[in-house]
Chains A and B, each alone.
Chain A
Amino acid sequence: MKPFEYERAADAAGAIATLTREAPRAMYLGGGTNLVDLMKLGVAAPELLIDVSHLPHDRIEPLADGGLRIGAAVSNSALAADRTVRARYPMLAQALLAGASGQLRNLATVGGNLLQRTRCSYFTDVSKPCNKREPGSGCPARDGDHRNLAILGHSEACVATHPSDMAVALVAIGSLVHVEGPGGARTIPLPGLHRLPGAAPQRDTVLEPGDLITAVELPPLPLAARSRYRKVRDRASYAFAVTSIAAALELDDDGTVRDSRIAFGGLSHVPWRALAAEEELRGLPATEASFARAADAELAHAQPLRDNGFKVPLARNLLVRTLAELAAEQGARA
């Protein structure tokens, strides 16, 4: 294997300074559940790893406005088990538990989970071309194996999907990503961290060299207490989503939709916030017909490839069923 140096960061400022100086040969290391695999496969070949998993970003703190601040080094297991998250953002806890395996969730961090790379089989095989891995080398997935790749927002250069479950829930919640970088601290609202592939699929996010995710902030979002995450996958556990949905629904007393939050996983290069569907739903009666109308509004621009057209009806059914279940729960409660 390729030799590399390992450095355990003492503080965020030092880590950022080192990475900014050493980029692109240096990379941050969180839980390592994705990066170390990519290093074994030869997909990633950092010469210097800066371990940020021990930085004091390991707490989940309530905020004055009723929101929640989650340190970037908090493990996926700890976040899924957090009582506040489970009570007030159930779709986030459910999304976390739908991902990977118990062992991986114990290691994986919140920051690292957001920055996971696609599992497209061409990306992970260095003996084949891939524009994301080697810009300009081509995209064999477009005509090759793409059953589980994108139907929304893909480009000639790349049809990859983002693999995270957690990110789908965070995008639905409209979380804020806290970033510190060479230019200081800033926040990036979700969606907004991940980018569509366009002509530069090698860039998964808008982060610049040296940027370090330090926390994710959940806004106080009362309707998130009535939310769920549902993941469709080939294998009943330990498999990436074929399609997933994070959804929250709030009804008015007359049974019409006051507000909703909807995001899809497995459909795009980014965790896909379904803003068109949310917009369509507002004020409509909470019926399956309305939910189907909303799904169609969102999926009207889907561009399925040869072998993944099934994701369009799948996403539609998933949206209709999930919102219908949320509506039924609220009907029962009222």
Chain B
Amino acid sequence: MSATVAGGRAIGTPTDRIEGREKVTGAARYAFEHAPENAAYAWIVQSPVAKGEIHSVDGSAALERPGVIAVVSVENAPRLAAVEEAELHVLQSRTISYRGQIVAVVVADSLEAAREAAAHVRVDYREQEHHVLLDEHDPAIYDPGRVNAGYPADSILGDVDAALAQAAAQVDVVYRTPAFHNNAMEPHATVASWDGDELTLYDSNQGASRVRDVIADVFELAPEQVRVISPHVGGAFGSKGTPRPHVVLAALAARMTQRPVKLAVTRQQMFAFTGYRTPTIQRLRLGAGADGRLTAIVHEAIHQSSRLREFTEQTTIATRQMYAAPNRRSTHRLARLDVPTPSWMRAPGETPGMYGLESAIDELAVELGIDPVELRIRNEPELDPERGVPFSSRNLVACLRLGAERFGWEERDPTPAVRRDGRWLVGTGVAASTYPAYRSPATATARANADGTFVVRIAGSDIGTGGRTALTLIAADALERPLERVRVEIGDSALPRAGLAGGSMATASWGTAVTFACRALLEQLQEHDGTVPAEGLEAFADSTDDVRATDQGYSRHAYGAQFAEVRVDADTGEARVSRLLGIFAAGRIINPKTARSQFIGGMTMGISMALLEESVMDREFGDYLNHDLAGYHIAAHADIGALEADWIEEDDAHLNPMGSKGIGEIGIVGTAAAVGNAVHHATGVRVRELPLRLDRLLAST
């Protein structure tokens, strides 16, 4: 662990996105825009049944269509190695696990020919009855033992039942969230080409090293035989963190046809096989004394996963560190259904879990007649309440206080349903945000050229966050050189190995390796008396030892507080967020300009989640039926009112050389609860299910 926090001039300076001009002029090339010579196109055929067996696949009619090169299915696909992600074992089994599962791929000279021929692939199924709805009474619900990110499913301290029985005030409520789908602007896409046993993939992903390793495993190749190139990525939010089955298909099709193959996932297909956030059913029980101090916190969450893979969203883990209470229980349970496999979506766990917890805390505040900001402050823990270790830094209270002041919270009358502005009922609400500060090992090189310029290389990925720019600021400070002389190269598995742009840990992880490489280069330069030889100088760094040596004696998280003003139409139940303020404390902010975008981007997604987004499961057919952007509503400009994000600078020496925490996900955490709490304040009605649709509010107004 690095004891000192660097204090350069570039870090903290609002800086334009380095590739901004390339992007707005269209010069930046995304995965599918790469066009190797003689490329063929692939189109995916999906199962129309949710559960069953493939009896036969007949591609003969498709093969007779003009321009069709191949039809690949379980009948003729080469065997692939099984990897942990069962979705990647594509075209290897006759079992259908969900509607929309990939059953064949058609390869043709043109996209149009492939698509047209796909309609002529004849697949016969032996259909079985499916079960696709998450239900808390399902007897097959089980304890998965561990959940996403490696947390234990259960954490139990003290005696919650006894504490609840004796509590002066109690809340016992069930909150529900629907399934949500990531909808990045750039759908998943891969262009695959083989040169002998060497595979090159232009791919849209959150980390080229990870894609390379997984794909090498699937095709039983050495990692060096696979190269993944992804200089620009048009959004991901977790859905491109691991390769999805289309990456395997593109490589498979290219190998079978001896042609480069381009494969773009359609928007509709993104609702089947590129992952989503599970629906949740969360029961929360809180017990408190009349003074508002929590005596018991119980948070029990139920989720779904597919038959193919056990994936359990870590919904209740934030509850383990948010508030002090001697008696605590947080659990995760799972139902395996005939549904697509859920995966990561911006702040998996914290997003649905903090919606439940922060709504329940608001209910407790109302029950006790204590201001919800004050109630949270009263339950601020001294130490991590379950691990018993100090926080590396924790400024939730400061965020709440500053936010309350900026928002004008002090004048708030807590009485619900008494404010009118014409036809609008007006209310305000608050909720806390949190996200862990993780780090993963990475490697990097730093090079000094004789012309006075520097090049830093790392297989990082900029998924639209400003990651490339942040790394450039970090490198410039570590090299003690002006920004203009430093170039950072990312987005290629041929660069030094690095982890994902995920878990809000990219800048912390890659920045550590980049800093170490730059420092090592400065030492080399000193040995050369500051003169760069004609062939240049290069230093390499690997942060593995430093990351492994991370002092486990600290609890590391970012925090925030969000304040929402909501208006609900008294005649129609339409809810709109007129004002949203987020105050965050996330270590040192590397680039204030893109950081602000990250915060307000997360908050925007949070408003969208609160009011609009929901993937509707079709009970009869077993798929998410609103599978396009007309049916799956994402907030439009008109849905977003006055949106403001600001932060409290933290000086935390227990994180990484930059002193930074991640900021990519915390913005969405807590937004939905702040909005829901404001809806209650506006209308007097507590809607315990997302989204806060007009039909759920109409009856209440």
* B698 surroundings in chain A (CB, below 8 A): 310, 313-314, 317
- Cα separation A236 to B619 with both chains bound (whole Å): 28
User: For window 108-138 of chain A, which residues contact chain B by CB distance below 8 Å?
Assistant: 119, 121-122, 125, 127-128
Evaluate whether A236 and B636 lie within 8 angstroms (CB atoms) in the complex, with A147-B695, A313-B698, A317-B571 already known.
yes
CB under 8 Å from chain A, chain B span 624-656: 625-627, 630-631, 633, 635-639
**Chain A nearest CB, measured from B56 CB (Å):** 19
- Pull 29 A–B residue pairs with CB atoms less than 8 Å apart, ordered by A: A42-B119, A121-B626, A121-B631, A125-B625, A127-B48, A140-B620, A140-B621, A144-B618, A144-B621, A145-B616, A232-B572, A233-B574, A235-B635, A235-B638, A236-B638, A236-B639, A237-B639, A238-B636, A239-B636, A240-B630, A242-B695, A310-B695, A310-B699, A313-B698, A314-B695, A314-B698, A318-B572, A320-B571, A321-B423
Q: Are B633 and A119 in contact (CB under 8 A)?
A: no
Instruction: Kindly state whether residue A301 has any CB partner on chain B within 8 Å.
Output: no
Q: Known: A143-B620, A144-B620. Contact between A235 and B694, CB under 8 A?
A: no
**A65 adjacent to chain B (CB < 8 Å):** no
Contacts of A42 in B (CB 8 A): 119
Q: How far is the CA of A127 from the CA of B694 in the complex (A)?
A: 30
Interface residues of B in 553-608 (CB under 8 A from A): 571-574, 576
Residues from chain A with Cβ under 8 Å of B635 in the complex? 235
| Interface residue? A234 (CB, 8 A) | yes
The answer on a CB contact under 8 Å between B574 and A232 is yes
Docked pose: A212 CA to B637 CA in angstroms: 37
Q: A1-B115, A121-B626, A310-B699 are in contact. Are A234 and B618 (CB under 8 A)?
A: no
Shortest C-beta distance, A144 to chain B (Å), equals: 5
Pair B572/A314 contact, Cβ less than 8 Å? yes
Chain B residues with Cβ below 8 Å from A320 are 571
User: 8 Å CB contacts to B: which residues of A38-89?
Assistant: 42
Rounded to whole angstroms, the CA-CA distance of A2 and B113 in the bound complex is 9
Q: How far is the CA of A234 from the CA of B631 in the complex (A)?
A: 11
Considering the complex, which residues of chain A in the window 294-320 have a beta carbon less than 8 Å from any beta carbon of chain B? 310, 313-314, 317-318, 320
Contacts of A317 in B (CB 8 A): 571-572, 698
Shortest distance between the CB of A237 and any CB in chain B (Å): 4
> Does B186 lie at the interface of the complex (its beta carbon under 8 Å from any beta carbon of A)?
no
Contacts A1-B116, A232-B694; is A239 near B618 (CB within 8 Å)? no
Q: How far is the CB of B607 from chain A (nearest CB, A)?
A: 11
Q: Across the two chains, which residue of chain B brings its CB closest to A308?
A: B695
Q: How far is the CB of B224 from chain A (nearest CB, A)?
A: 40
Interface string of B679-700 (1 = CB under 8 A from A): 0000000000000011100110
Residues on the B chain within 8 Å of A318, using CB: 571-572
Residues of chain B touching chain A, judged by Cβ–Cβ distance below 8 Å, are: 48, 112, 115-116, 119, 423, 571-574, 576, 611-612, 616, 618-621, 625-627, 630-631, 633, 635-639, 693-695, 698-699
How far apart are the CA atoms of A237 and B638 in the complex, in Å? 6
Complex Cα distance, B10 from A254, in Å, reads 74
Chain A residue contacts of B619, Cβ below 8 A: 144
Complex: A310 Cα to B638 Cα, angstroms: 24
> Which residue of A127, A143, A234 contacts B612 across the interface (Cβ within 8 Å)?
A234
Tell me which of B621, B631, B639 contacts A128 (CB under 8 A).
B621
Q: Are B694 and A242 in contact (CB under 8 A)?
A: yes
CB distance from A5 to the nearest CB of B (A): 15
Which residues from A are CB-within-8-Å of B695? 147, 242, 310, 314
B572→A236 contact, CB < 8 A: no
- 15 additional contacts (CB under 8 A) given A140-B618, A235-B633, A235-B636: A1-B116, A122-B625, A125-B625, A128-B621, A144-B621, A232-B694, A233-B574, A234-B611, A235-B639, A236-B638, A237-B638, A242-B695, A310-B695, A317-B572, A317-B698
Residues of B near A127 (CB, < 8 A) are 48, 621
> What are the 10 A-B residue pairs with the smallest beta carbon separation, nearest first?
A236-B638, A237-B638, A310-B695, A317-B571, A321-B571, A236-B639, A232-B572, A235-B633, A127-B48, A237-B636
Q: Chain A interface secondary structure, helix, strand, loop or mixed?
A: loop
Please provide the chain A residues from 241 to 298 with a CB less than 8 Å away from any CB of chain B in the complex. 242
Residues B572 and A234 in contact, CB atoms below 8 Å apart: no
Contact, CB under 8 Å: B616 / A314:
no
CA distance A128 to B619 in the complex (A): 13
Closest Cβ–Cβ distance, residue A322 to chain B (whole Å):
9
**Cα–Cα distance between A78 and B627 once the two chains are bound (Å):** 32
CB of A237 within 8 A of CB of B630, answer no
Question: CA separation between A310 and B618, bound complex, in Å?
Answer: 21
For A313, the chain B residues whose CB sits under 8 A away are 698-699
What is the distance, in angstroms, from B236's C-beta to the closest C-beta of chain A?
23
Interchain CB contact under 8 A, B571 and A236: no
Are A237 and B112 touching (Cβ within 8 A)? no
A128–B633 Cα distance when bound, in Å, is 22
Question: In the assembled complex, how far is the CB of residue B179 from the closest CB belonging to chain A, in whole angstroms?
Answer: 14
Most buried by A among B571, B616, B636: B571
Residues of A within 8 A of B694 (CB): 232, 234, 242, 310, 314
B422 to chain A, nearest CB (A): 10
The interface centre, meaning the residue of A119, A318, A321 with most chain B CB atoms within 10 A of its CB, is: A321
State in angstroms the CA–CA spacing of A144 and B631 once bound together: 15
Chain B contacts for A240, CB-based, 8 A: 630
Q: Are A237 and B637 in contact (CB under 8 A)?
A: yes
Distance (Å) between the CB of A273 and the closest chain B CB?
21
The answer to whether A119 touches B630 (Cβ under 8 A) is yes
Chain A residues near B633 (CB-CB < 8 A):
234-235, 239
Min CB–CB distance B644 → chain A (angstroms): 19
Question: 0/1 per residue, A9-27, Cβ < 8 Å to B?
Answer: 0000000000000000000
How far is A239 from B423 in the complex, measured between Cα atoms in Å?
22
Residues of A within 8 A of B423 (CB): 321
A42 vs B637: C-alpha distance when bound (angstroms): 31
Please report the C-alpha to C-alpha distance between residue A318 and residue B627 in the assembled complex, in whole angstroms: 30
Contact present for A235 and B612 (CB under 8 Å) = yes
Q: How far is the CB of A59 from chain B (nearest CB, A)?
A: 32
Q: Hey, which chain B residues are within 8 Å of A237, CB to CB?
A: 636-639
Compute how far the CA of A111 lies from the CA of B635 in the bound complex, rounded to whole angstroms.
30
Residues of chain B lying within 8 A (CB to CB) of residue A147? 695
Contact indicator A236/B119 (Cβ below 8 Å): no
Closest to B119 in A: A42
Considering only residues 203-254 of chain A, those with a C-beta below 8 Å from chain B are: 232-240, 242
User: How close is A266's CB to chain B, nearest CB, in angstroms?
Assistant: 12
Q: What B residues does A233 contact at CB under 8 A?
A: 574
Question: What is the chain B residue whose CB lies nearest that of A1?
Answer: B112
Give the Cβ gap from A26 to chain B, nearest Cβ, in Å: 20
- The residues of B that contact A239 with a CB separation of less than 8 Å are 633, 636
Q: Chain B residues with Cβ under 8 A from A1's Cβ?
A: 112, 115-116
CA–CA, A240 and B626, complex, Å: 14
- Which chain B residue has the least Cβ–Cβ distance from A319? B571
| Complex: A42 Cα to B625 Cα, angstroms | 16
CA distance A320 to B612 in the complex (A): 26
Give Cα A7–Cα B693 distance, bound, in whole angstroms.
45
Chain A neighbourhood of B116, CB < 8 A: 1-2
- Name the distance in Å between B271's Cβ and chain A's nearest Cβ: 11
Within the assembled complex, what's the spacing in Å between the Cα atoms of A330 and B166? 62
Name the residue in B620, B630, B695, B699 with the highest tally of chain A Cβ atoms < 10 Å from its Cβ: B695
A210-B693 Cα distance, complex, nearest whole Å? 43
Chain A nearest CB from B693 CB (Å) reads: 6
Closest residue of chain A to B630 (Cβ to Cβ) is A119
With contact pairs A147-B695, A234-B612 given, residues A314 and B573 touching in the complex (Cβ less than 8 Å) = yes
Assess A145 versus B625: contact at CB under 8 Å? Given A121-B631, A318-B572: yes
A261→B74 CA distance, assembly (Å): 62
Bound-state Cα–Cα, A237 to B612, Å: 12
| Closest chain B residue to A233, Cβ basis | B574
Query: In this complex, what residue of B is CB-closest to A237?
Result: B638
The closest CB in chain A to the CB of B634 belongs to: A235
CA distance A291 to B612 in the complex (A): 31
Nearest Cβ on chain A to B571's Cβ, whole angstroms: 4
The answer to whether residues A121 and B639 also contact, given A232-B572, A310-B695 and a CB cut-off of 8 A, is no
Enumerate chain A residues within 8 angstroms of B573, measured Cβ to Cβ.
310, 314
| Closest Cβ–Cβ distance, residue B483 to chain A (whole Å) | 38
